[in-house]
Amino acid sequence: MMWRTLLLGMVSISIAFSTGCNRSGHHVREQHIPDSARARLNGGPTLPRLNVVPSRGGCAPKADNLVVFGACCNSLTCNGQCVKDDTGLIGCACFEVKGGCHDDKVCSKIRRGCVKPRDAQLP
């Protein structure tokens, strides 16, 4: 008889949790998630899209283009990618960094910006 009471109690608790009730038996209402937290849960805010165009020429810096971007834009070395702006001009950019990264940094696809080469590697 004691086992039956224990089993019935466990089933009751399981049902209470599965229906969204708290310990006092009151139904737990859905909580509002702020937009800032929702953005983090959904992968972050929508980032601006760049109109990336192919690299042309042999002046691109050493890059694997999987973790670190490198390109040759308008016959100039680019620590980033070649992008076309709204007017149709092609230039260098590393995500939001117009002109690409300085020579001491690389354009990291993972970090979405200019970082020191050691910080660009996969964890």
> Does residue 46 sit within a domain?
no
**Structure letter (DSSP) for residue 64:** -
**How many CA atoms within 13 Å lie on the side-chain side of 96?**
5
How many domains is the chain built from?
2
Domain region containing 67 = 52-119
**How many CA atoms within 13 Å lie on the side-chain side of 78?**
30
> Does residue 12 sit within a domain?
yes
The one-digit pLDDT tens for each residue of the chain (123 residues) are 555 565 555 655 655 555 554 455 555 455 555 655 555 556 655 656 789 999 999 999 988 988 999 999 999 999 999 999 989 999 999 999 999 999 999 999 999 999 999 998 777
Residues 56 and 93 in one domain: yes
User: At a CB cut-off of 8 Å and minimum separation 6, what does 108 contact?
Assistant: 67, 68, 69, 114, 115, 119, 120
> Does residue 39 sit within a domain?
no
> Does residue 91 sit within a domain?
yes
